[in-house]
A and B are shown apart, each in its own frame.
Chain A
Amino acid sequence: MRALTWHGTKDVRVETVDDPEIVNPRDAIIKVSSTAICGSDLHLYDGVIPGMMAGDILGHEFMGEVVETGPRSTLQKGQRVVVPFTISCGGCFHCRIEQYSACENSNPVEKQDASATLYGHPMAGLFGYSHMTGGYSGGQAEYVRVPFSDVGPIVVPDHLEDEKVLFLSDIFPTGWMAAENAEIQPDDTVAVWGCGPVGLFAVQAALAMGAARVIAIDHYPHRLELAHKLGAETINFRETHVREALLEMTGGIGVDAAIDAVGMEAHGFAIDNMIDVVKQKVGIGADRASVFKQALLAVRPGGRLSVPGVYGGMTDKFPLGALMEKSITVRAGQTHVQRYTDRLLAMIEEGVIDTTFLISHTLPLEEGPRGYRCFRDEQNTWTKVVLKPGMEAGQ
C-alpha cells in the first residue's frame, strides 16, 4: 500500500510499504477514505519529538471503510467508521470510568517504560505518534490496522460526507472536552488562546455550553476571522497587550475561564536530554510555555484553566504562586475521545456544530509532503489539510 512515512526533520515521503494484517483477535483493517494533518503532526515533522523511527507511518485523524475484521471485532465489512486517535481497550479501570486516554492496556508493555519513567505512569497507545505512545502505524495511508476495533471506531451514516464527520477522530472532541474542562457557567467570559483547529472547536463548544462571551487570541488574521465568524470577540497578540485587554474587556474582573489551545509539545518529550533541551532552548521554551503562564495570570481568582494544548516536559519560572493564591482549578489531558463521539455525531447530524468550515485544502495522499510543508509555513491560510488516498493528483 501507499503510506506517508516519517524519515527525519521535515522529511516525510509517500512510499510503498507492506499492507497491514489482522494481528490480534479484536483488530479490524480500515481502508482509509480521508485523513487530516493535525497541529500535533507538525511537531513530528519538525523533528522535536523523540521516539520516532525512520519509516513510521504518520496520521491519527482518519476514517474509512472496514475491509477486514478479527474474530472478536464487532465491526462488519463495508461499514463506514471514524477512528479515535486514542487507542482504548474498554476493559481497564480507566476505560471503565471513561478516562479513555489513560487506557492501561493499549500501549504495548515494552513501550511503556519511557513514559512511565518520565511521568510516573505510562501513556496510552495513540496512532502514528512516536514509540512512546506505542509506535502504532498511523492513518495517513491506504490501510490501517485498528486494535480494539470493538471499542474505538464509531460507525457513521452514509448520508454524512467525510468532511462532516472526520474531525470526530480528534479535534472536535478535543475542543469539546477543552470547553467542558473549563466548567462554563451561563454568565461566563471565556478566553481561548490559539485559533487553530482545536481553539476554533473550543470556541464553538464554549458558546454551545452557554458562555456569555468568548474571546479568541491568535496572531493570524485569517484564523482570527474564522473565530469571529463563529461568534467570538478577538485579540491579536501582535497588536495588543493580551492581559491588559482581557482585564479591560471584563470590567477589571478577568476571564472566568481560560483555554490554552496552543501548547508546547515540542519541548521536553525527550527522556534523556529533556532538561538539557529545555535549558538549551530556554528562549523558545519560555516563549512557548508563555500561554499557560499568561492564562494563569489572566484568569480571575477562583477561575478555571483548561489545557488541551500539549505539553511534554518541564518548564522554568512557573507562576506556582498565582495558581495557589488565586485558587485556580487546572484541568488538562489528551482527549477521552470515545466519551464524546456519540453525542457529537448527533450534534453534527442536527447541524448544531459546523465541522467543515476550517478545511482549507484537500489533497491526494501522494501530495502529503506538500500538505505538511504548507500547513507549517503558511498557517494563516492553510488552516486544515485533508488527504485522500483515492484522489488523483491534480484533481
Chain B
Amino acid sequence: MTSHGRTHGALAAGIALAAGAIALALKQQNRRRHRDHPADDAPGFTARRDFGRYEVVGRSVTIARPRTELFAFWRDFSNLAQFMENLIEVSPAGTDGHSVWTIRGPAGKSVQVETRIAREVDGALIAWRSVEGSDIDTEGRVTFEDAPGQRGTRVGLIIAYVPPMGEAGRAAAKLFRREPEVQARHDLKRFKMLMETGEIATSARRKDAARAAQMENA
C-alpha cells in the first residue's frame, strides 16, 4: 500500500447510514435502562443486540495529532479515498454539503451513492446521509474528541446502512463480504497511519508489488 492506499471500508465511507440506526446505536444506554439492564458507559454499538433492518458498524481510534487538523483532512471528502480502500473517489468534495461517492463494485463495476452533510460541528463532528431515492440507504458519522493528556484525538466512526437489494445490493454484498467491523477498523488505522506518519505502511519490496497488493485488496 502506498500513500495512495484505499480502504476496505468503502462502505464505511460510501454506504452511509440511517439516522434512526445511529441514534439507536448512541442511545443504547437508555434503552437498556428501560429494559431493567444495568446501564453502562460503553458505546451503544458495542451492545449485544441488533439494530432492526440496519447494519451498524462502529469503531474508534486514537491519533496523536490535533483535533482541528484531523477534522480538516476528513472534511475534504476528496481525501478519503487515500485511506478507504474500496472508495474510488468522492466528488464534489462536499464543500456545499453534496457529494457523490464512487465505490468499487464487483466485476470491475462501481456503485455510486449520493450523500449530503446532515450535521456538522466545526472541529468535532461530521454526519452524512444518503439522499432520498439513493440506491443505498446509509448514514455515517465521524466524531473528533480530545484524548486525555498528550494523546491527541479520539476519532469515532459509526456507519449504518440497510443491506440493499437489486443490482446495487449485489454490489454492496460484495463490499460487505469482509467483516464490516474489520473494514472500518482497517480504514481508521490507515487514516491514523497517514496522519501520524505521512504514509501507509507496506512491507512490499517494490512499487509494483505494493500496487498489486492494493488491487488484490480492492
Which of A23, A93, A125, A148 is within 8 Å of B204, CB to CB? A23
The reply to whether the CB of B145 lies closer than 8 angstroms to some CB of chain A is: no
Which of A24, A137, A147 is within 8 Å of B3, CB to CB? A24
Q: A103-111, A164-172, A272-280, A313-321: which lies at the B interface?
A: A103-111
Residues of B within 8 A of A8 (CB): none
Which positions 1-21 of chain B face chain A at CB distance < 8 Å? 1-3
Rounded to whole Å, the gap between the CB of A118 and the closest CB of chain B is 16
Whether the pair A23, B197 counts as a contact (CB closer than 8 A) is no
Residues of A within 8 A of B202 (CB): 23-24, 108
Residues of A within 8 A of B2 (CB): 23-24
Which positions 98-121 of chain B face chain A at CB distance < 8 Å? none
Whether the pair B203, A18 counts as a contact (CB closer than 8 A) is no
A370 to B12, CA, bound (A): 51
Residues of B within 8 A of A96 (CB): 64, 150
A305 to B198, CA, bound (A): 39
Rounded to whole Å, the gap between the CB of B6 and the closest CB of chain A is 11
On whether A21 and B196 interact (CB within 8 A), knowing A92-B64, A93-B64, A110-B186, the answer reads no
A189 to B210, CA, bound (A): 51
The reply to whether the CB of B49 lies closer than 8 angstroms to some CB of chain A is: no
The reply to whether the CB of B177 lies closer than 8 angstroms to some CB of chain A is: no
The reply to whether the CB of B124 lies closer than 8 angstroms to some CB of chain A is: no
Whether the pair A21, B207 counts as a contact (CB closer than 8 A) is yes
On whether A108 and B201 interact (CB within 8 A), knowing A24-B2, A93-B152, A113-B182, the answer reads yes
Give the number of residues in A that approach B within 8 Å (Cβ atoms).
32
Rounded to whole Å, the gap between the CB of A313 and the closest CB of chain B is 23
Residues of A within 8 A of B193 (CB): 89, 105, 109
Whether the pair A23, B207 counts as a contact (CB closer than 8 A) is yes
Which of B62, B201, B206 is within 8 Å of A93, CB to CB? B62
Whether the pair A23, B189 counts as a contact (CB closer than 8 A) is no
The reply to whether the CB of A134 lies closer than 8 angstroms to some CB of chain B is: yes
Closest to B213 in A: A110
The reply to whether the CB of B192 lies closer than 8 angstroms to some CB of chain A is: yes
The reply to whether the CB of A20 lies closer than 8 angstroms to some CB of chain B is: yes
Contact with A along B179-203 (1 / 0, CB 8 A): 0001000100110110011111111
The reply to whether the CB of B46 lies closer than 8 angstroms to some CB of chain A is: no
A104 to B193, CA, bound (A): 8
Rounded to whole Å, the gap between the CB of A24 and the closest CB of chain B is 4
Residues of B within 8 A of A78 (CB): none
Residues of B within 8 A of A106 (CB): 201
Rounded to whole Å, the gap between the CB of A96 and the closest CB of chain B is 6
Whether the pair A135, B203 counts as a contact (CB closer than 8 A) is yes
On whether A108 and B206 interact (CB within 8 A), knowing A89-B196, A96-B64, the answer reads no
Contact with B along A83-124 (1 / 0, CB 8 A): 000000111110010000000111111111100000000000
A89 to B192, CA, bound (A): 12
The reply to whether the CB of A300 lies closer than 8 angstroms to some CB of chain B is: no
If A108-B200, A108-B202, A125-B203 are given as contacts, then 13 extra A-B residue pairs at C-beta distance below 8 Å, sorted by A number, are: A21-B207, A23-B204, A24-B2, A24-B202, A26-B197, A26-B198, A72-B199, A93-B64, A93-B152, A104-B192, A108-B203, A134-B203, A137-B205
Q: Contact residues of A with B, CB < 8 Å?
A: 18, 20-21, 23-26, 72, 89-93, 96, 104-113, 125, 134-137, 145, 147-148
Q: Contact residues of B with A, CB < 8 Å?
A: 1-3, 62, 64, 150-152, 182, 186, 189-190, 192-193, 196-207, 210, 213, 217
Pairs A-B, 6 closest by C-beta atoms = A91-B196, A24-B199, A20-B205, A136-B203, A135-B203, A89-B197
11 CB-based A-B contacts, threshold 8 Å: A20-B205, A23-B204, A24-B2, A24-B200, A89-B201, A96-B150, A108-B203, A109-B189, A111-B203, A135-B203, A148-B197
